[in-house]
Amino acid sequence: MRNRQLRLPVFHIIKQSSGKEHEMAEKELSKGKQLEKELCWEYPNIAKKAPEQREKAHEFAKGYMEFLGACKTERECVNYAEKLLLEAGYERFDSKKKYKAGDKVFSTNRGKAMAITVFGKKSIAEGVRINGAHIDSPRIDLRPNPLYESNDIALFKTHYYGGIKKYQWVTMPLALHGVIAKKDGTVVEVNIGEDPSDPVFFISDLLIHLAQDQMQLTAAKLIDGENMDIVFGTQPLDSESESAVKANVLKLLKDKYGIEEDDFWSAEIEAVPAGRAREAGLDRSLILGYGHDDRSCAYTSAVALFEVENPKTTTCGLFVDKEEIGSYGAT
């Protein structure tokens, strides 16, 4: 009995102490939350903060989706923007010409980077407002002499550009975009895989029941970068040649583009996911497409510049390439 009587007061003391500590903790937490609310910035959700703007957001997204689908390389972004800029009254920058406030100009660098400027009323010495974005995205590039044949399959040797998860790029429909500078000095634009009537390309992978050893590897080693070769064709030319499949695809390239194998030395061909950007989710609230990084910033910056009229401060938009590999290169 004595032991029980001794334990009861101890139990009540502990319980009361815990209750007071809990109340104090709640007060401290509420103060913390209040301080957090005062000091921190909350990411606004347009659907909650401004539901009346939903329709405007969906309408704006239509132009962005069209841009994503049409511009899968840096060159395509620059060409796309040039056309819109000329239609909007911009002119190509001329270093010998004098400009006044309100004039709108643009300049390109080797067809892969661009600057757009609207001159302001204030002197440039008083400052310039600059928006910067990059228009390159992770992808797979063809090597300078990429075409070869192995086991009756014509293949392209590749090198990945930027940080990619290599396992995401196998067995995916790919399109080829780029340019080929021919021996006669002409430049041929290549775009195969985007039109519904076009063929697409892919990087093969092991069947699941043959991949027991492969599945034991880490994600970084699951797919070997040196083996990410693009399947280009399997049908041989009517020939006894040892490279009849390679010869057949070269014939098709000659017939369609007028190019020969050594023209690949001066080519810049990129393999990207085939297909247009699509609305995602039953409520169509998301966009599924290739190249959001960083073309979402490039598109919104460009659209904002189109709407600038007679600014006080000179406004400039810079759209560059090579960001995905550390901003090295001629552009």
- Pairwise pLDDT comparison (19 vs 109), residue with the higher score: 109
Residue 19's pLDDT is what?
A: 60
Chain center to CA of 30: 42
Strand partners, 115: 107, 318
Say what the alpha-carbon torsion angle 269, 293, 69, 325 is, to the nearest 10 degrees. Answer: -10
Evaluate whether 273 touches 138 at the Cβ level (below 8 Å). Answer: no
> Of 160, 125, 129, 116, which is closest to residue 142 (Cα–Cα)?
160
H or E, element range at 202: strand 202-203
Mean pLDDT to the nearest integer, 131-137: 96
Percent of the chain with pLDDT over 70: 91
Does residue 238 have a cis bond before it (omega within 30 degrees)? no
List of E strands, 2-82: none
* Cα(32)–Cα(67) distance, integer angstroms: 44
Question: Terminal CA-to-CA distance of the chain, rounded, Å?
Answer: 89
Give the phi and the psi of residue 280 in degrees, each rounded to 5.
-125, 150
Is the dihedral angle over the CA atoms 248, 254, 256, 257 positive or is it negative? positive
pLDDT at residue 22, as a whole number: 60
Section 294-313 average pLDDT: 94
Confidence class for position 5, pLDDT limits 50, 70, 90:
very low
- pLDDT per residue as tens digits for the range 99-111: 999 999 999 999 9
What local confidence, expressed as pLDDT, does residue 21 receive? Answer: 65
Mean pLDDT of 273-285: 95
Q: Which one, of 328, 315, 327, lies nearest residue 115 by Cα?
A: 315
Instruction: Name the one residue in this structure whose structure tokens are 């509420």.
Output: 30
DSSP letters, 278-295, are EEESTT--EEE-TTHHHH
What is the reported pLDDT for 330?
A: 78
Question: What is the predicted pLDDT for the residue at 9?
Answer: 43
Query: The tokens of 44 are what?
Result: 């606004």
State the pLDDT confidence band at 97, using cuts at 50, 70 and 90: very high
Structure confidence at residue 45 as a pLDDT band (50, 70, 90): confident
Burial of 22 (0-12, 13-18, 19+ CB in 10 A): exposed
Average pLDDT over residues 186-212: 95
Q: Within a 13 Å sphere around the CA of 168, how many CA atoms are in the beta-carbon half? A: 10
In a 13 Å sphere around the CA of 43, the CA atoms on its Cβ side amount to: 0
Q: What is the pLDDT of residue 299?
A: 97
Tokens of 327: 């901003």
The answer to whether residue 175 scores a pLDDT higher than 60 is yes
Percent of the chain topping pLDDT 90: 78
Q: Tell me what pLDDT residue 24 has.
A: 60
Which carries the bigger pLDDT value, residue 71 or residue 10? 71
* Residue with the two structure tokens 């010998």: 96
Q: For the chain, how big is the Rg over CA atoms in Å? A: 29
Using CA atoms in the order 143, 149, 154, 160, what is the torsion angle rounded to 10 degrees? -30
> Is pLDDT of 49 > 90?
no
Backbone torsions φ then ψ of 173, nearest 5 degrees: -65, 125
Say which DSSP state 262 is in: G
Structure confidence at residue 309 (pLDDT):
92
- State the pLDDT confidence band at 238, using cuts at 50, 70 and 90: confident
Q: Encode pLDDT of 250-263 as tens digits.
A: 999 999 889 999 99
Q: Is the pLDDT of residue 14 over 80?
A: no
314, 103 in Cβ contact below 8 A?
A: no
Q: Which structure tokens are listed for 182? A: 């021919």
Supply the pLDDT for residue 18: 56
Query: Which of the 8 DSSP states describes residue 45?
Result: -
